[in-house]
Structure 1
Amino acid sequence: MALLGGPAAGALAAAAPSVFWLDRADRPAPRPRLDDGGQDGRADVTADLVVVGGGYTGLWTALLAKEADPARDVLLLEAGRIGWAASGRNGGFCSASLTHGEANGRERWPAEYEQLHRLGLANLDAIESTVQRHGIECDFRRTGELTVATAPHQVEWLREEAGSGGAIRFLDRDAVRAELDSPTYLAGVHSPDETAMVDPARLAWGLAAAAESLGVRIVEGTKVTGLQRDGAGMRLRTEQGPDVRAARVALGTNAFPSLVRRTRLHTVPVYDYVLMTEPLSDQQLASIGWQSRAGVGDMANQFHYYRLTDDNRVLWGGYDAIYHLGRRVRPSRDQRPQTFERLAAHFFETFPQLEGLRFTHRWGGAIDTCTRFCAFYGSAFGGRVAYALGYTGLGVGASRFGAAVTLDLLDGADTERTRLQMVREKPLPFPPEPLAYAGIQLTRWSLARADENAGRRNAWLRTLDRLGLGFDS
């Protein structure tokens, strides 16, 4: 497909089809598979707690479990490599929000939103403390987040958000352009305390190293294919190695098919796409400002998110959210030329002063979403298995909270977390195919129309709102 014209033409020509964060010389070497670790033939492997999944949810679960009980034997099984999926290829926005934003949280759980907000801030504080305590070099910076209006109807939305209290500051057109200069900006709000920027892959690698330093066993290249009861515990079948027996099992599989089959209709994998620029020169950076280095997102339904890296590259992602019929996650879907071209054109519309800048990397990946747009939690097999799913792209921070809830559920603990309505409730499931595909495509089309129509929601979106299925419904 031919590249778009204008400043975007040629900007993608040398972009590598790989994940910038993972394309590093210091990426940890692969860990052995389960059957490469000196086990005696195909004899069963045992552990007190088996964690399935080597992304953020699984890594936080393993680390928190070992910190709480150093004597607990914890084994983590990862089908690929640590942090290779969503945890290693996201934008690195580590948010305090547990509800995918204030509006979604207040609408769904008005009576407990302030409690959820407090718990989310405490969770972000705990992530920062863990990074410092274990010396995790992931460029953790508590920069806050800048939200910008790029259409007139969004300005009043931002005024309302700034008026809700806290440290959020409304920025008019001149003020927001003094913070980050784009001719597309009409207003903005800066929330200084509730978001940190991180290097996502290095956060995952650091969590894995911290867990191993406490005695967690981590195995890569070992896919778990099934669960079944085994006396008072569970037996896990693996594709490449022996069976594993565990007293308790924590699942952090997210966008991939859940081992608890009854939850499979509750999530769908949606593909998100990202570009990374070459490093900005001092002159280029000065032309746009960005002194706070805050992460940025716009107010559209089809929104962009972007941030600076430690070497002053711009990560630019979002807008398209692609769902494929059948709920399958496939590597071939990580590349989508038409989306990359669209993103490149939007980048130079936002920052025309950066004309001539080139992109060095382009990639995509699947995130798991559910009908309430934030994580849900549960247990199965009589409390022997627990899970957290459905983060909808905001799991860098919320995954630690999800891990804590998972451990509460496995321990049968009555805690402030497990008493939350948000934790006790489940979202409505998506319908089976092809209805899910048709409904998601209609929703995407309707959201795009709302962006073009001053935010006005059509009959389909209003119906979803009444059913509690629409974003910010």
Structure 2
Amino acid sequence: MGTTVFERHPAAASSIASMLEGSRLSPFWTDDAPGPARPSLAGSHRADLVIVGGGYSGLWTAVQAKERQPGLDVVLLEARRIGWAASGRNGGFCEASLTHGRENGESRWPDEIDQLDRLGMENLDAIEATVARYGMDVDWQRTGALSVAVEPHQVEWLEGPGGLDAEATRALVNSPTYLAGHLSPDDTALVHPGKLARELARVAEDLGVRIFEGSPVTAVEDGPAVRTRDGIVRAGKVALATNVFPSLLRRNRLMTVPVYDYVLMTEPLTSAQLAEIGWEGRQGVSDMANQFHYYRLTADDRLLFGGYDAIYHAGGRVRASYQDRPESYEKLASHLLTTFPQLDGIRATHRWAGAIDTSTRFCAFFGTARGGDVAYSLGFTGLGVGATRFGAAVMLDLLAGDETERTRLRMVRERPLPFPPEPVASLGINATRWSLDRADHREGRRNLLLRGLDAVGLGFDS
């Protein structure tokens, strides 16, 4: 097999050690934007709508529910703190796509892909409008996105409208690894994930939503009623926004698996370092490998660098211990310095990991239970910063019994295939990951396993 650019030009071990020394195992975003503490639920309550989950999915559901019906009594229950999980651990790329890219959507819903793309752009515009309407301090920047080829076989994938040669790509962001690029100027915004969660909660409370933290839900009972460790809320309707965590509905227990993604955040770049790199457009960047990296600048000129490793742990559990994986952080540090050798000597201040709620179709799915009194959206597969707002709107449509453009979509009406139970899930997921790595080392050529998954609609080429 061949080698990748990151293997041909690895960083020195001493540079990797220096970068990681003293870094904190904690998400930068939530450290940088802590929110106020809220009480836990105790005793018996009533509400028109109970939302389970205090990440983006639940928060967008709360805000939109009150915007639709200001008099609605809404309670939101969060097991720990607002935005502590995936919503506070992502890269802050807020994308228009609802389908994890046009190619993935087109392969599944070719008759709807233009409509889905339009709805995705409308959703991104609506997020931007919400940020402006409520004066939300979230470091919002509509920067667009730059996709880059770092291996010769990837160059042709970026040809066409918006395609850039190596010189034009490096004029935007100066990396010696870039062989070509593609600029999408309007379909991606960058945001501070911790501030977005904090501000959505503020807006929700300003609109009258009651938020309880430290209130893990133990059951959704008939009625419906939502029971926590210390209390119960009897509700008219329930929206489940638990995503990567075990579903409260048995039917969804095998519909997602948690895949861990790893991230580094550096200290702020100096003016000299920024001059070396360029990046005046501040676009979000990702490369074209199956095991891809994503990276961006923050408002205070830190460099976030994440991706590549996507680790599934046998049993499909979500555990804090999975966040501390030195080999993943060392790999990211090396790849960062391969991408930007001019940053040798820079230090990481934070390192962290988060679990992604991965579905077999690589984008969200939706549905109802308990006679239409309970709705859910989950399986965002790393695309939730933007798509959760759309998912929230779908849940509210379903709970209201409304037929809308959203609920008529095949993408909304159809469920993906479930994952197999263990131990088959571990064998299949890890074999697929090995195959994707192998394809990256074989000029993108997909082996029999990947071609078979493609044929049955389970393949994904990131």
Q: Verify: 1:22 aligned to 2:30, yes or no.
A: yes
Residues in 2 aligned to 1:4 and 1:247: alpha-carbon distance in whole angstroms? 60
AA matched with 1:220: E
Question: What percentage of residue pairs aligned between the two structures are identical?
Answer: 64
AA matched with 1:441: N
Tell me the CA shift for residue 380 of structure 1.
Answer: 0.5
Q: Verify: 1:33 aligned to 2:21, yes or no.
A: no
1:346-370 deviation per Cα after TM superposition (whole angstroms, max 9, x unaligned) = 0001100111111110000111000
Please point out which of 293, 314, 318 is paired with 1:304: 293
Residues in 2 aligned to 1:50 and 1:19: alpha-carbon distance in whole angstroms? 28
Secondary structure at the aligned position of 2:51 is classed as: strand
Does structure 1 conserve the Cα–Cα contact (< 8 Å) formed by 2:290 and 2:461?
Answer: no
Secondary structure at the aligned position of 1:266 is classed as: coil
Tell me the CA shift for residue 66 of structure 1.
Answer: 0.5
1:233-281 deviation per Cα after TM superposition (whole angstroms, max 9, x unaligned) = x011211x21111010001000000111111101000100100000000
Match for residue 107 of structure 1?
107
Residues in 2 aligned to 1:335 and 1:202: alpha-carbon distance in whole angstroms? 24
Does structure 2 conserve the Cα–Cα contact (< 8 Å) formed by 1:107 and 1:472?
Answer: no
Spell out the pairing of 1:265-284 with structure 2 (5 A cutoff). 265-284=254-273
Secondary structure at the aligned position of 1:272 is classed as: strand
Residues in 1 aligned to 2:164 and 2:253: alpha-carbon distance in whole angstroms? 43
Aligned pair in 2 of structure 1 residues 324, 4: CA closer, same or farther (>3 Å)? Answer: farther
Match for residue 97 of structure 2?
97
1:304-359 deviation per Cα after TM superposition (whole angstroms, max 9, x unaligned) = 00000001000000000000011111111112111000000000011001111111
Tell me the CA shift for residue 6 of structure 1.
Answer: 4.8
Match for residue 54 of structure 2?
54
Match for residue 86 of structure 2?
86
1:219-240 deviation per Cα after TM superposition (whole angstroms, max 9, x unaligned) = 000000111212xxx011211x
Residues in 1 aligned to 2:76 and 2:125: alpha-carbon distance in whole angstroms? 25
> CA-atom RMSD, angstroms?
1.1
Structure 1, unmatched stretches of 5+, are: 36-41, 164-168
Q: Verify: 1:382 aligned to 2:389, yes or no.
A: no
Tell me the CA shift for residue 7 of structure 1.
Answer: 2.8
Residues in 2 aligned to 1:407 and 1:158: alpha-carbon distance in whole angstroms? 38
Match for residue 451 of structure 2?
462
Match for residue 196 of structure 1?
189
Q: Verify: 1:359 aligned to 2:348, yes or no.
A: yes
Match for residue 71 of structure 1?
71
Tell me the CA shift for residue 29 of structure 1.
Answer: 2.2
Structure 2, unmatched stretches of 5+, are: 1-10
1:23-50 deviation per Cα after TM superposition (whole angstroms, max 9, x unaligned) = 13x5122101112xxxxxx3x2110000
Please point out which of 4, 9, 20 is paired with 1:12: 20
Match for residue 242 of structure 1?
231
Secondary structure at the aligned position of 2:349 is classed as: strand
102-111 or 426-435, which moves further after superposition? 102-111
Following TM superposition, the consecutive aligned residue runs of length 4 or more in structure 1 with deviations greater than 3 angstroms are none
Residues in 2 aligned to 1:286 and 1:29: alpha-carbon distance in whole angstroms? 38
Match for residue 396 of structure 2?
407
Secondary structure at the aligned position of 2:80 is classed as: coil
Residues in 2 aligned to 1:209 and 1:444: alpha-carbon distance in whole angstroms? 40
1:401-444 deviation per Cα after TM superposition (whole angstroms, max 9, x unaligned) = 00000000101100000000100111000000000000000000
Match for residue 151 of structure 1?
151
AA matched with 2:335: H
Match for residue 253 of structure 1?
242
AA matched with 1:86: A
**TM-score computed with the length of structure 1 as normaliser:** 0.94
AA matched with 1:13: E
Residues in 1 aligned to 2:139 and 2:322: alpha-carbon distance in whole angstroms? 29
Does structure 2 conserve the Cα–Cα contact (< 8 Å) formed by 1:254 and 1:368?
Answer: yes
AA matched with 1:63: V
Does structure 1 conserve the Cα–Cα contact (< 8 Å) formed by 2:262 and 2:328?
Answer: yes
1:71-101 deviation per Cα after TM superposition (whole angstroms, max 9, x unaligned) = 1100000000000000011100000000001
